[in-house]
Amino acid sequence: MSKAQTFGEFIMDRQAEFPFVSGQLTRLLTDIGVAAKIVNQQVNRAGLTSILGASGNTNIQNEQQQKLDVFADDTFMRILSAGKSVCGIGSEEREDFVLCGESGEGRTGKYIVLIDPLDGSSNIDVNVSIGTIFSIVRRITPMGEPLSEADFLQPGTAQVAAGYILYGSSTMLLCTTGSGVNGFTLDPAVGEFFLSHPAMTFPNRGNTYSINDAVKAKSNSATQAFVDGCREAVDAGFRGRYIGSLVADFHRNLIHGGIYLYPSTTDKPQGKLRLLYECAPLAWIAEQAGGLAVDDSGRIMDKVPESLHDRSPYYVGIRHLVEGLQACRLAPEDAYVANDPAAASGGEHLH
């Protein structure tokens, strides 16, 4: 009987695939797994300790910080900065990036980590799934010199690894380094992530759309036409599912086939989600799994951030539904027929 591969064994075996391998990325990904296990342990006990509830502080997003937010941010910061692989960390919870290394200027270490330590934390108190999202890029500044903000403001195409941890009915870690998406499930009895979902891809078709109904009414015309079309296709099995926790919604749509929309709206022209910490890493996962991730004009992976906390309209998921949304943008006068394969897969007029 074969033994399931652990996350650590998997990345060690794949190490040879990483260009200019030095073992630093392997060490970094291993550290992410360790931090995830520590956070998971607290997430699973949140109701039992005083860690539940608001910390009394607000973060850079002017959002009420939950105690678990702070714990998760501190844990990933501590574990990742202790390794020799990391020169800098940008966190969705912190206004400025953190420079690592003995000099505290990021002169050593090959990689930069962008992280949303605990996304969906407004769901903590009601015991709904939450997640961690991570993105890894190489430093641009030569080794030995202090990092600058430009090292952090790289497009999604510069990522060397990206993924998420979903603290759900089970705890899963999904990761890509550019050769597909692999899913690992935590066995709490032994404290290891085991390869449970090799080579994950979206199914060929899907019929789930995820959008906050209150946001839809304020959204752009293409989003409204697309969602109205999905709602018309109930008889064809189309259904709305929205958890309000991006990682959980994304993961369900990856497994069952669906699209998540957080659109530009009249009051938030740039939408709500953060380009560096949420949109870009999940965009790479989506593309590696055969899906698409776009904003109101093009591919998320090509967007170059202007600042650490840029937001972006975000539409991500199974290819035929994202293309269906794009068709609504190109032909707003046409009603979107969700269940019409031609309407969705009409690649001929899509860029």
The total of other beta-carbon atoms located within 10 Å of residue 213's CB is: 9
Interface size with ligand P6P, residues (CB under 6 A): 10
Residue 129 binds ligand P6P (CB under 6 A): no
> How distant, in Å, are the alpha carbons of 99, 121, 153 from that of 243?
34, 12, 30
Exposed, middle or buried: residue 224 (CB in 10 Å: 0-12, 13-18, 19+)? middle
Let me know: does 216 contact 227? Beta carbons within 8 Å: yes
Judged by beta carbon, residue 119 or residue 296, the one nearer ligand P6P is 119
Span interacting with ligand P6P, options 64-72, 106-114, 115-123, 332-340, rule CB under 6 A: 115-123
Q: Which is nearer to ligand P6P, 139 or 272 (CB)?
A: 272
User: Is residue 120 a contact point for ligand P6P (CB under 6 A)?
Assistant: yes
Residue closer to ligand P6P by CB (options 60, 331) is 60
* Interface with ligand P6P, residue 253, by CB under 6 A: no
Beta strands in 12-151 (DSSP E): 54-58, 64-66, 86-91, 98-99, 111-119, 130-138
Q: Which of residues 260-279 bind ligand P6P (CB under 6 A)?
A: 272-273
Residue 65 interacting with ligand P6P (CB under 6 A): no
Residue (293 or 327) nearer to ligand P6P, CB: 293
Q: For residues 125 and 187, which CB has a smaller minimum distance to ligand P6P in the complex?
A: 125
Residue 88, interface with ligand P6P (CB under 6 A)?
Answer: no
The closest alpha carbon to 250, from 95, 131, 109, belongs to: 131
User: What does the alpha-carbon distance between residue 183 and residue 177 come to, in Å, rounded to a whole number?
Assistant: 12
Both tokens assigned to 349: 């007029």
Q: How far is the CB of 119 from ligand P6P (least distance, A)?
A: 5
Locus of tokens 């031609």: 342
Which residue, 126, 123, 134, is CA-closest to 92?
A: 134
Q: Quote the least distance from Cβ 122 to ligand P6P, whole Å.
A: 6
The answer to whether 212 contacts ligand P6P (rule: CB under 6 A) is: yes
* The residue to which tokens 């060490």 are assigned: 27
| Residue (135 or 245) nearer to ligand P6P, CB | 245
Q: Which is nearer to ligand P6P, 244 or 347 (CB)?
A: 244
Point out which residues pair with 89 in neighbouring strands: 98, 113
The contact pattern for ligand P6P, residues 169-208, with x = CB under 6 A and - = no contact, is ----------------------------------------
* 119 binds ligand P6P per the rule CB under 6 A: yes
Of the candidate spans 22-30, 69-77, 167-175, 242-250, the one that interacts with ligand P6P by CB under 6 A turns out to be 242-250
Task: Name the segment binding ligand P6P (CB under 6 A); options: 8-16, 238-246, 316-324, 341-349.
Answer: 238-246
Query: Is 246 a binder of ligand P6P (CB under 6 A)?
Result: yes
* 237 lies in the binding site for ligand P6P (CB under 6 A): no
The contact pattern for ligand P6P, residues 303-342, with x = CB under 6 A and - = no contact, is ----------------------------------------
Residue found by looking up tokens 């690992």 in the block: 184
Q: Where are the beta strands (DSSP E) in 62-180?
A: 64-66, 86-91, 98-99, 111-119, 130-138, 159-167, 171-176
Given candidates 244, 332, 341, 347, which one binds ligand P6P under the rule CB under 6 A? 244
List the beta strands (DSSP E) in 230-339.
Answer: 239-240, 258-262, 292-294, 314-317
Burial 159-192 (b: 16+ CB within 10 A, else e): bbbbbbbbbbeebbbbbbbeeebbbbbbeeeeeb
> Contact 172/185 with Cβ under 8 angstroms?
yes
Return residues touching ligand P6P (CB under 6 A).
119-120, 122, 212, 244-246, 249, 272-273
